[in-house]
Amino acid sequence: MVALNFFATGSFQSPSRDLCGMSQASVHRCIRAVTDGLYAVAARYINFPEDHTHQAARASQFDSVAGIPMVQGVVDGVHINLRAPTRDRDVFLNRKGTYLMNVQVVCNQGMRIMHVCAQYPGSVHDAFILAQSYIPAISEGHPPRMRGWLLGDRGYPLRPWLMMPIRRPQSNAESRYNEAHAATRGVVERCFGLLKMRFRRLDRSGGALQYDPDRVGRIIVACCVLHSIAQQRADVMEEEEPGEPEEASDPEEEGEEEEVGEDGRATGHRHHRGAGYGWEASRRHRLGQRARDTLIAARFAHLGEGVVVQGTRTIDRVLIGL
């Protein structure tokens, strides 16, 4: 009860202590034990079933949203605030002076989380996290274990198994594809909203998590486990906006489009579309992006080992059916 109150209310440990009449040390041990227990069984509830039956069911459910066939999931990154780390704090800092974790999630049409990676700092690009994750391994084999594709935003590179919106649609069919893509990919945005509504501890309205990055990663995974259990049991909640607007992880939402290389790293080239965040800030952001991503990947590969929970097609083929 203490741990659930801590996850759900967004409060610090003191209110949980007062609610249950426990000492601060007991509350701390309780929250830690429950977090570690949920983390240990995460693979039981957060997984990506690869058998034909599950893949066919996922594709059918996503097809019912807007008619895009063979979709196996939607992927995106979400930022979670944390206190300034004692080590390597610069890589957790965003341009607004906030310390963040960048968490990758893949969910199904029912907003059940099938994959979560909660080990990278907020300065790492979404596409780079995806390239280092388990997802390419199940999508690029011979034959691939995933028979279909994921949908992602413009922050990701186009892959045979990862479909993006068309940047500048030239026909009605391409415009309809973009509309269908947006409607289908919106599932992951609703998943983030629901996750943060259930667990205010992950929302910035609850304040930054006062823990080191490894512990924050475990708390995130624990909340994702509880979320997936709730979705499996059809625990319906009315969606509402979290306390403050989400920090945008998609370059397009910031008024820019950022190119992504074949290795999943940002190339450093941005196409300004008006509403940017200032030339100087843009220059600082793109300088050394690839080198920084490589350094961060090596430095944080150990972070929260196990926090990553696992389980040639073209857009033209999809356009035929839209």
pLDDT band at 266 (very low <50, low <70, confident <90, very high): low
Residue predicted with more confidence, 275 or 68? 68
Residue predicted with more confidence, 144 or 267? 144
pLDDT band at 12 (very low <50, low <70, confident <90, very high): low
CA distances from 122 to 19, 97, 126, 209 (A): 33, 11, 9, 14
Please state the rounded mean pLDDT for residues 13-27.
Answer: 67
pLDDT, tens only, 104-162: 999 999 999 999 999 999 999 999 999 999 899 888 877 888 989 999 999 999 999 99
Task: Tell me which residue has tokens 């390239």.
Answer: 131
Cα separation, 47 vs 220, whole angstroms: 16
Spatial contact of 225 and 42, defined as CB atoms under 8 Å apart: yes
Q: What angle do CA 126, 130, 131 make, to 5 degrees?
A: 115
On the question of pLDDT at 23 being above 90, the answer is no
Q: Considering the chain, what is the average pLDDT of its residues? A: 78
Considering 39-53, 197-211, 273-287, the range whose residues carry the highest mean pLDDT is 39-53
Burial 121-134 (b: 16+ CB within 10 A, else e): bbbbbbbbbbbbbb
77 burial level (CB within 10 Å; 0-12, 13-18, 19+): buried
C-beta neighbour count of 210 within 10 angstroms: 11
Q: What is the pLDDT of residue 213?
A: 94
Cα separation, 26 vs 61, whole angstroms: 45
DSSP 70: T
Spatial contact of 94 and 122, defined as CB atoms under 8 Å apart: yes
Where does the chain show beta strands of DSSP type E? 71-81, 100-107, 113-121, 149-151, 162-163, 256-260, 266-272
Where does 126-179 show beta strands of DSSP type E? 149-151, 162-163
Residue predicted with more confidence, 187 or 95? 187
Q: Is the peptide bond before 143 cis (omega within 30 degrees of 0)?
A: yes
**Inter-helix orientation angle 24-40/13-20, to 10°:** 110
pLDDT, tens only, 61-113: 999 999 999 999 999 999 999 999 998 889 998 878 899 999 999 999 999 99
